[in-house]
């Protein structure tokens, strides 16, 4: 979303050919994506990548006009990236296993509920997360709220967005932004593909093979 908003055209977005293999971890010890490949120098962590791109491509600016604005943007971005997405990733693992760990589902859902409530008290009411314009906070909150909207119901929990007026208003308005809408189309397509892979068993085979390879390594 940040790349689209800045109009960056010299970054290719593709899945690493050796993703989920021991070879991938040799060059990227964290073993997760996204990772920015700069002529073989791999930079992990989406928030770190976003900060780097903000420095390399400063216009249009997606941080604040003052240090205080930037701090607020970064706070909301962390709420999306850490407080929402991390919990949703953990919860999503319970949507396709049998039997489900209901205690784990309840725990992660409660964490999301608490964080959505906090976000409701901090988020902007003019269609953007803050500063009355698109910022890095929106770039983190859009995928975070997408996961809340789609993963919670899949785990048998109610979608929490509608119960919080400010978050619900933001979510409705930000989806009309061209860059957010483009990202959401991609996320929906990816979610559909993942659910098809889970249904036909191919996803389980990929995970089993990856774990086996990592274990042997």
217 residues of the chain, pLDDT tens digit each: 999 999 999 999 998 888 888 888 888 898 888 999 999 899 999 999 999 999 999 999 999 999 999 999 999 999 999 999 999 989 988 888 888 899 999 999 999 999 999 999 999 999 999 999 999 999 999 999 999 999 999 999 999 999 999 999 999 999 999 999 999 999 999 999 988 988 888 888 888 887 787 777 6
Q: So what's the pLDDT on residue 95?
A: 84
Residues 119 and 195 in one domain: yes
Residues 110 and 164 in one domain: yes
Contact 47, 77 (CB under 8 A): yes
Residues 106 and 38 in one domain: no
Residue carrying structure tokens 């979510």: 171
Contact 73, 63 (CB under 8 A): yes
Residues 47 and 83 in one domain: no
d(CA 47, CA 111): 21
Which DSSP helix (H) or strand (E) runs through 36?
Answer: strand 35-38
d(CA 82, CA 76): 10
Residue 40 gets the label, from left (phi > 0), alpha (psi -120 to 50) or beta, of left
Domain count, the chain: 2
pTM for this entry: 0.91
The domain that contains 168 carries what CATH number?
Answer: 1.20.1050.10
Q: Which residue range forms the structural domain that includes residue 32?
A: 2-56
């Amino acid at each position: 979303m940040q790349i689209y908003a800045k109009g960056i055209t010299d970054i290719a977005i593709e899945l690493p050919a050796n993703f989920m293999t021991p070879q991938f971890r040799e060059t990227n010890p964290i073993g997760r994506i996204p990772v920015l490949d700069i002529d073989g120098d791999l930079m992990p962590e989406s928030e770190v990548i976003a900060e780097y791109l903000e420095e390399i491509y400063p216009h249009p600016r997606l941080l604040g006009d003052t240090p205080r604005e930037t701090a607020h943007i970064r706070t909301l971005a962390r709420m999306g990236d850490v407080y929402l997405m991390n919990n949703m990733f953990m919860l999503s693992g319970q949507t396709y296993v049998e039997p489900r760990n209901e205690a784990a589902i309840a725990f992660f859902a409660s964490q999301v509920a608490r964080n959505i409530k906090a976000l409701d008290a901090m988020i902007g009411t003019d269609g953007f997360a803050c500063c009355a314009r698109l910022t890095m906070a929106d770039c983190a909150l859009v995928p975070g709220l997408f996961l809340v909207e789609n993963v919670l119901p899949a785990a048998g929990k109610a979608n929490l967005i509608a119960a919080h007026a400010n978050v619900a208003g933001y979510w409705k308005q930000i989806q009309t932004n061209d860059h957010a809408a483009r990202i959401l189309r991609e996320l929906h397509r990816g979610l559909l593909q993942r659910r098809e892979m889970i249904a036909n068993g191919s996803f389980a085979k990929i995970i089993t093979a990856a774990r086996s390879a990592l274990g042997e390594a």
